[in-house]
Structure 1
């Protein structure tokens, strides 16, 4: 099974799990030969800033190249692995979603910025944002037991969340000719997140968004390179894989949880898109473990 950690290779948290942890990247990655193997954090988001070096971060099977300065957000339960270049520097924040929401006064717009995996590269961040300085100030408060420490940490988290929100808005507005498409796709993804287990038709999403199904499909292709149906299928497959790797649910139970009344249909859907049956996928990624794979 893919390991679940609070901090990498620490099964039991050494700090408050409902609070926050921040450390320089070399502290943990340096002693693991700059390689963080595939794992997940079930109850915490991670936020990374790269100030030197770089590398590749694999998020849900997609590889992201990063170079300084880069900002990466890895939400809770996201499967990820990292291969840093030797001597990479920067910071990693590990934060519990309830604490983050409290720090942000439950501002939905700010909290939303940490719900899906995202990276911002140097050309997106520009020279006007001192992310490394912001992380360094937060780390100073974290290690310094001074009056007002918790309040100061919350204030730096608010600044970080505002920065993330503005970066997201900046990307949605660039270029102007595709801003409306990007906004439509973002709202479409939000709807998919709420309804994908119920398998509504594409017309359902289109009506909710105030566009035709053909227009929705065109927006998705222009923004992501994928059709609207492919994005829905991607979300279903991500959840199916997560349950196959993380849970003891049978394949039939996973299919039912994802809205497939017919186990055979779920098997065909998964096999057609992944190239392996759900049972074979589980066996291949969890070698040596005996699991029930049928209902």
Structure 2
């Protein structure tokens, strides 16, 4: 049936925010599925692996994974590993976001963040503040402050570029939102530069300084990820997917996909739908 062919989508219940130390799932966790929210997953035990956008990562105690809206996730085990979990809506995310947080949720920077032993207590305290507020007054303003603080501390444990917060942060955030909404149909650098009032050269300089990527690199990575996600819908032909993603014909899309993955779209679809990845 068509419903079984499409990539399942997990959505939040009727709430913009949730935090829990219990095992949380919004559908069948062992199948590849898109998430329609943002997630912070702090594993508190070792297990086997989980997949983010079809790439396997080990589940390690005191490692945090950040998953953005529309990414594909799966934990191919009968039972969920123990974890501290924070999930929130797109609106909640945009209310707390700044360059550092956008860096953390870039959908092609999926490696987990290991928490240093000497920082465990600090992050546990923040998590318990989140949990207490959610279970108590549930003041969204406080939850946003605690979540933002949690993510900014996590940023210190990464190899991300050092940040100097300034007025350009707002332009980067605006630019990333534009790319997320338009990357399928708008590739030219000039389109995005005009939207944020910058020259193409200056826009790429700011992106490279702040995130380590040029606009073309960002768009290409997002297009490739969306190609992989779309190929999970076996109810659509490769030709249909190519046109939906803005390619002029199927052969061009196939060449693009093979160049970036060393597989044809059909080979990738077969390997993932039968569980090889």
Cα distance in 2 for partners of 1:108, 1:28 equals 23
Q: Provide TM-score, normalisation by structure 2.
A: 0.64
Deviations 1:29-56 (A, max 9, x none): 9xxxxxx756335444322235676997
Kept after mapping to 1: 8 A contact 2:53/2:229: no
Q: Provide TM-score, normalisation by structure 1.
A: 0.61
Is the deviation greater in 218-227 or in 232-241? 218-227
Kept after mapping to 2: 8 A contact 1:49/1:132: no
1:10 corresponds to which residue?
Answer: none
Cα distance in 2 for partners of 1:93, 1:206 equals 34
Q: Structure 1 284/241 Cα, relative in aligned 2: closer, same or farther at 3 Å?
A: same
Kept after mapping to 1: 8 A contact 2:126/2:146: yes
In the TM superposition, residue 234 of structure 1 has moved relative to its aligned partner by: 1.0
Cα distance in 2 for partners of 1:54, 1:153 equals 34
Kept after mapping to 1: 8 A contact 2:231/2:265: yes
Cα distance in 1 for partners of 2:229, 2:213 equals 22
Kept after mapping to 2: 8 A contact 1:134/1:156: no
1:211 corresponds to which residue?
Answer: 199
* 1:132 aligned onto 2:124: yes
Determine which structure has greater relative contact order: mean sequence separation of CA pairs < 8 Å that are 6+ residues apart, divided by chain length. Answer: 2
Cα distance in 1 for partners of 2:118, 2:176 equals 27
1:266 pairs, out of 229, 238, 253, with 253
Deviations 1:194-245 (A, max 9, x none): 22122342233334451333x5445555555554323211111111111111
How many pairs does the alignment contain?
A: 256
Q: Structure 1 59/183 Cα, relative in aligned 2: closer, same or farther at 3 Å?
A: farther
* 1:284 aligned onto 2:271: yes
State which structure, 1 or 2, has the greater radius of gyration over its C-alpha atoms. Answer: 1
RMSD between aligned alpha carbons?
4.9
Give runs of aligned pairs for residues 222-237 of structure 1, distance below 5 A: 226-237=213-224
Gaps of 5+ in 2: none
Cα distance in 2 for partners of 1:55, 1:286 equals 20
Q: Structure 1 211/180 Cα, relative in aligned 2: closer, same or farther at 3 Å?
A: farther
Gaps of 5+ in 1: 8-15, 30-35, 289-295
